[in-house]
Structure formats: C-alpha cells, structure tokens
Structure 1
Amino acid sequence: MKGGSRLARAVGADMRMGSMTAAPSLAQLAGPPQHYLGGISLRLLAMVSLSFMFVLVKYVDAAGVHIVESLFWRQALVLPFLLAWVMATSGLASLRTRRIGAHARRMVMGLTGMACNFGAMILLPMAEATTISLSVPIFAVIFAAILLGEATGWQRWSAVIVGFVGVLLVLDPIAGFAGGFGGDHGVGTLVALSGAIMTALITIAVRDLGRTENAATIVFWFSLLSMIPLGIALPFVITPHDGREWLLLAGLGFLGAVVQMSLTGALRLAPVSVVIPMDYSSLLWSIAAGWWFFGTLPADTTWIGAPLIVASGLFIAWREHRRHIDRPKEVAA
C-alpha cells in the first residue's frame, strides 16, 4: 500500500472508504461488480460454517492431534474441494495470478491468524473466544488510520474506545494480572486478541486482492502456499489416526473450504462495512454450539463486554456506510 503511484493512491482511497464511490475510478473499473445481498448471504454462511468448524477444532484437539497437524490437514483438504469447484465452474485457467507476492503476504498473515484462532478456540470456551474475535472492526479502524492515513473522526474513535472497554471486560485484566495471565484461560485470551488483530489486517489484504483476483484464486494460493511452512513442520508432529479422527479432519477441511470461499467471496461482492455486521451472528452460533456440544456458557464478564463490542462494531459499520452514501452527494454538490 505504498504511495507514489496512481494505482496505489486509488486502491488506498477506495479501501479507506470500504466501498466504491459514485465517481469513476481505476478501482471501480478494475474491481468486480458489487452485489450487496450476495455478499451478506455469503458472510452469514461463513459464520455458520465457522462455528461448526471450531466445534471440530475442539474435538480434533481432544483426540490428541497437534495444532500444526490440524492446520496442515485443514489447508491440504481444502485444495481438492476447491479444485473440484473450479473445474466445474470457471476452469483451472482462472487460478493464474500475477500477484504471487501479495498472495505470499496474505498467506503469512492468514496462517498466523488461523493458528491464533485455532489456539483460542482450544484454550477458551467457544463463546468467549468468538466474542474477542468480534473486536476485528475496532482494530480495522486503528489500522486504517495508521497504515492508510484515513482521517478518523471523534465518533469512530469514541466507538473504538467503547469497544475496547468491552474487550477489557471480556479479558478481565484484573484477574489476569493477578494470576499473571497464566493457565489455559489467561493464555487463551491473549491468543484470541492476537488473532483478532491479525484478522483485521487480513480483511484489508483480502479486500485489496479481491480487486484483481476471484475468490477461488485467493483461497487456492493461500492454501497452496501455506503447505510450504506447514509441510516442513508436519513430520515433527504427525501421529497415526483412526477412522473417526480422519473423518474429523476431513470435516475440518470441507468446512474450511466453505468458510474461506464464503469470506473471500463476500468481500468481493460487497464493501467491508456492509458484510462485517454479519459477523456478529457468529456469537449466537458459538453460544449455542458451546452449550450443545460442550456444556459451556459464556463467563459473566463476557455477557457484559459482548454488547459493548457488538455496539461498537455496528456503529463503525454504520458510519462507514453513511460515509459511502454521503460522499457522492458532496461531490455532486
């Protein structure tokens, strides 16, 4: 996202808005057509699939499978599902890319974020880990201001502060510091927070890639490139599996493919500010799944902090949507 060229400035400006303006721009000419309802539907599908995928993550961990091996099979098993879909639709030629460097950077961020999210789900109750992950829009505002130079007014900064209060309530730092953030719960909260920060960066990167690459191409190169570091580490952690464990790993791969395709497709079809609010539906799914499969419910602090995080994120999304609507009117005036 470095300045100095018209393309970088055009892409940067469009990403700061989170959508396309009415005025013609290079990003509009090169980007895919927008379909808000389709983007919202794909994001909702991703949230449902993600909740069930994390149920499998916990089952796989309980079976004694190392997290690195889980990540390997989750990525490796995405590829056949993805290739079958591509061959039946756009053809293998659609996977060609001239942006291998951008895909490599997205892979590093994506793999790091995925490892943090897997770790958070293993160490924390599902609802608590999901609540912390919902702080992504808060960090996205901060990164937009720092990395993209976006002018952020007092209203969005106020929403960020409210959201951070919610995050602190969920993290319960007083109890954490008293215990030195030790144990699974303390480490889990820090891992979940790291995952939210990385996911905010990934959202920006995927939105940028989506201007020239389709969803299948982005997911394919992410999965394929991630095989390099995961493949190197696999021999040190792999263990034999029975039929049930292989079935769990296959389900992990299938749901992973659905999640990645849906998330990436949603960001291609609609602006970040439109699809991000759908992420809050994952809290309902995670509460239900955590109770049904594991008999766990959110901690008391989560019930208090979650509404603040959700309110903050929804306000940020609403402000982005309003800026998208108002800016063409200002230009026309």
Structure 2
Amino acid sequence: MRPLRGIALKLASVLVFIVMASMIKATAPHVPAGQSVFFRSLFAIPVIVAWLAWRRKLATGLKTANPMGHLWRGIVGTLAMGLGFAGLGYLPLPEVTAIGYAAPLLTVIFAAMFLGEEVRAFRISAVVLGMTGVLIVLAPRLSLTPDAAGMAEAFGAMLVLGGAVFAALAQVFVRRLVQTEATAAIVFYFSLTATALSLVTLPFGWVWPTPLEATLLAGAGLLGGLGQILLTSSYREADASLVAPFDYASMLFALAIGYFIFAEVPTLAMLGGAALIVTAGILIIRRERKLGLERARQRKAMTPQG
C-alpha cells in the first residue's frame, strides 16, 4: 500500500472528472445531453481497452458472469449521466457538483432498502444532515419565480437531483456486481451500454457539432476514460476509507473553474449547503471505516489460530 500515491491518484481523478464536466457544460447550450453521453461513453472505450491491454488483463478483465447485471447498471447509470449533463446547461458548475453529492447519501438509503444493509442512528443522522444541505442548495432554485429564467433553473435543479437518485441506484447495482465481476469489466460494459443506449436519443434533436464542440466532446470522453483509470488505480494504492473523502475536493475545483471559466459566483446558500453535504459525507465514510475495522477484528478473532 502506498497511501500518498493513492491520494494523488484520487485527486487527479477528481480534477479530470471536473474538467470533463466543464467540457460538457461548454457544449450544453447547443449539444443535447444524449449526444454528450454518446461522445463521453464512446471515446472512453479505447482508453479503457488500451489500459487493460497495457496491464495484460484484456482477456480476463472483460469476462462476465452477470451480463444482465451490467445491463441494469448501464441503464440507471446512463440515466444518471444524461440527467446530470442536461442539468449542466441550466445551473452553475459548483451547484451541480454540490447536488451531485446527494448520490452517496441516497446510496445509504437504497442499500438498506434493496440490499438489506443495516443502517443505524448515526448514519441516518448523517444522511439527514446531508439532505438538509441539499435542500439549502436547491431552495433558491425552486422558488418557481414566474420569469423564464427562474423556471429553467428549477427544471435544471430537478434534472441534477434526478441524476443523483439514479447515480445512487447505480451504486447499488455496482455493489452487487463486485461480488462476481472484475472492476475492469464493470467499467468497460458500462461505457459500452451507455454508448448504445445514448443512440436512443438520436431522433430527439442531435446536432452537427462545430469543430470546437466536437473536440470538447471527444476530449470529455477521453478524460472520462482516463478519470476512471485514475480512480481505479487510487483504490489499488490505498484503502478506500483513506482516499474516499478526497472526492469532495471536486468542490474546490468546481468553484475555481466555475469562477474563472464560466464567470459563476457562488452564493452563500450554495456554499453553506455544500458544507453540510460534505460534512455528512465524511461522517459516513469515517463510520464505514470504523465498522470495517470492527468486522475485520471480529473475523480475525473467529479465525482458528495455529
């Protein structure tokens, strides 16, 4: 284990994903979300395949024992991506990032509902705290002011929140898949499924992108594949409980890119709500780490000695 290397890889993946989202946002006024999903997914595939070939795991990394599990994960994951990309056209990048933090909080709830995971008072309290932060971020956008801009922002907020719901459901499917599937297979088949599913949106207004838009979309796909590789590599170098909190560095990157690239000035409500969400997420991660250590000690105590 190399914890510092793991942290560095995690931070690199977070930065890459935020830059990817920025590229999608830059094309959002003209390019439909479904078309963005297509480019993001298609151009990630060669990056992932090249990485597997370099690691000499191309033959074994793509084997699957649960093709239907990959399909369902692909459906909900594609919906999450599409809704999130659509929301980027209506809301500032930091707000989209903050609302997206609802996904791991909702995963706790869905894991209890669908996987039978035990959720005690501490995690429930953390989820409530985090969702309060989400409501604080959402509140200014849901005032439903009669002007068109206010309605558009409310619609965008609902898109991003819907994306977070589907992202949480996707994580539930991933938790099932990891019991039988390699990480490489999960990543590859998601990109493949998302590419195919995004074509369903073709009749709903795809456009011919400008050279700049095409470059940004292709770049977003390449960065998406690279980000996934960096993320996977970070978890090989350090414990998940150590690197997971660095997900929230994405807010710092989003604030900087939003301000300097898109001239987006964060509101106090957004900053305050995001702070609550990040606090709740870190509390849940620390609790998961503590429970994991306790389970490990129990297993060690039950293992016959000698």
What range is the shorter-chain TM-score in? 0.7 to 0.9
Q: Which structure 1 segments of 5+ residues have no match?
A: 1-33
Instruction: Determine whether 1:296 maps to 2:264.
Output: yes
Go from structure 1 to structure 2 and tell me whether the alpha carbon gap of 1:211 and 1:145 turns closer, same or farther (over 3 Å shift).
closer
- Residue 281 of structure 1 is matched in structure 2 by 249
1:148 is aligned to 115
Is 1:250 the equivalent of 2:212? no
Q: Is 1:170 matched with 2:137?
A: yes
Deviation at 1:164, TM superposition (A): 1.7
Which residue of the partner structure matches residue 71 of structure 1?
A: 37
Question: In structure 2, what is the Cα distance between the partners aligned to 1:270 and 1:200?
Answer: 24
Name the aligned partner's letter for residue 190 of structure 2: F
* Number of the residue aligned with 1:190: 158
Unaligned runs of 5+ in 2: none
CA contact (8 A) 2:144 2:151 kept: no
> Conserved in 2, the CA contact under 8 Å of 1:128 and 1:299?
no
Alpha carbons of 1:256 and 1:283: their partners in 2 closer, same or farther (altered >3 Å)? Answer: same
Question: Which moves more between the two structures, 314-323 or 233-242?
Answer: 233-242
Q: Shift of the alpha carbon at 1:315? A: 0.7
SS at match of 1:197: helix
- Residue in structure 2 matched with residue 216 of structure 1 by the alignment: 184
Q: Identity across aligned pairs (percent)?
A: 35
- Distance in 1 between the 2:34 and 2:151 partners? 21
Contact 1:120-1:129 within 8 A present in 2 as well: yes
Relative to structure 1, is the Cα distance of residues 225 and 151 closer, same or farther in structure 2, using a 3 angstrom cutoff? closer
Question: Which structure 2 residues correspond to residues 57-96 of structure 1 after superposition, within 5 A?
Answer: 57-62=24-29, 64-94=30-60, 95-96=62-63
- The question of 1:322 aligning with 2:290 is answered yes
- Deviation of residue 41 (structure 1)? 4.3
| 1:200 counterpart = 2:165 | no
Question: How far apart are 1:92 and its partner, in Å?
Answer: 3.3
> What do the CA deviations read for 1:267-304 (whole angstroms, capped 9, x no partner)?
67777644431211100000001011011122221121
Distance 1:216 1:329, change over 3 A: closer
More deviation, 269-278/191-200: 269-278
Q: Offset of 1:216 from its aligned partner?
A: 2.9
Cα deviation, 1:76-97, whole Å, max 9, x if unaligned, reads 1112222222223225313232
Q: Distance in 1 between matches of 2:200 and 2:73?
A: 19
Per-residue CA deviations over 1:245-268 (Å, capped at 9, x if unaligned) read: 221122111111122334455567
SS in 1 for 2:209: coil
Does the CA-based 8 Å contact 1:49-1:255 persist in structure 2? Answer: yes
Q: Note if contact 1:123-1:184 (Cα within 8 Å) is conserved in structure 2.
A: yes
What TM-score do the two structures reach when normalised by structure 2? Answer: 0.86
Q: In the alignment, residue 35 of structure 2 is paired with which amino acid?
A: E
Q: How has the CA–CA distance of structure 1 residues 195 and 281 changed in structure 2, closer, same or farther, with 3 Å as cutoff?
A: same
Q: Aligned pair count?
A: 298
CA–CA separation in structure 2 for the residues paired with 1:172 and 1:239: 33
TM-score (norm 1): 0.80
